[in-house]
Amino acid sequence: MNISDKKLNGVVYTPKWIVDLILDKIEYKNNIYDKKIIDPACGEGAFLGEVVERFFADAKKNNLNSPRVKSDLEKNIFGFDIDNMAIRKCRMLLDNIASRYGIKDVKWHITKTDSMDKDSMSKFFNSFDFVVGNPPYIRIQHLGAERRNKIQREWRLCARGSTDIFITFFELGFYLLHKTGKLGYITPNTYLKTKAGEALREFVKTSRSLKTLIDFSLLCMCEL
């Protein structure tokens, strides 16, 4: 069976109304210009495009000058993805938004990165006020044996059974946040009832981190 690149990379596009709902629920609206936010599977920028729009609205409201705006964009907005083409498209989107506000040549922290590589991600742990996104949906058996085994060794929520990569992104997001940070994801809702989601359910229960859960039948919005 041939599995497309889109399937292997877990690409599922996010409607704007869901992006807005998640950003509203985690309160990414006011006094956000100096807050750090990351989408660890940013794709072409569905979330980060709206993040940058809200950033500029907040910067304008707080009368920030252009050098400060550019500096804060570079310091506080992060996006990672494993797909080079998606990263290029995301940067182009953000450049276009910034240019409308008179800001050019932003050195975006939008990079090709495998967010499932725990060693490379560990330097960002406890760093962010917000984690957002639509993590990839990939059954772990669709990965090559070497990558699958590495992920299962490093991430305990994905350690056993026939599970899905998006579950591991919950664990990653939890580590990326500092103590008062907030996470908002749109994911499948399968973890609410399947054996594969048992570790995540227990993790959420014991950490007492769940604030809002909206079940859209096939998809689920989760705020930690």
Give domain limits for the chain: 5-185
pLDDT > 90: percent of the chain: 60
Q: What is the DSSP letter of 45?
A: T
Q: Please tell me the predicted confidence (pLDDT) of residue 7.
A: 39
Q: Please tell me the predicted confidence (pLDDT) of residue 179.
A: 87
CA distance 114 to 121: 8
- 219 pLDDT band, cuts 50/70/90, is low
Q: Please tell me the predicted confidence (pLDDT) of residue 10.
A: 44
Least confident of 38-42, 198-202, 206-210, 214-218: 214-218
pTM: 0.86
Residue type for position 117: D
Least confident of 66-70, 151-155, 197-201: 197-201
Q: Would you say 187 and 135 are in contact if contact means Cβ atoms under 8 Å apart?
A: yes
CA distance 156 to 70: 38
Give pLDDT tens digits for 3-53: 344 434 445 578 899 999 999 999 999 999 999 999 999 999 999 999 999
Which CATH number is 5-185's, of 3.30.499.10, 3.40.50.10490, 3.40.50.2000, 3.40.50.150? 3.40.50.150
Q: What is the DSSP letter of 217?
A: S
Question: For the residues of 105-126, what is the DSSP string, one character each?
Answer: ----EEEE--TT-HHHHGGGTT
β-bridge partners, 112: 81
Nearest to 40 by CA among 6, 70, 10: 10
Per the model's pLDDT, the better-predicted residue between 131 and 147 turns out to be 131
Q: Please tell me the predicted confidence (pLDDT) of residue 199.
A: 78
Nearest to 162 by CA among 189, 142, 188: 142
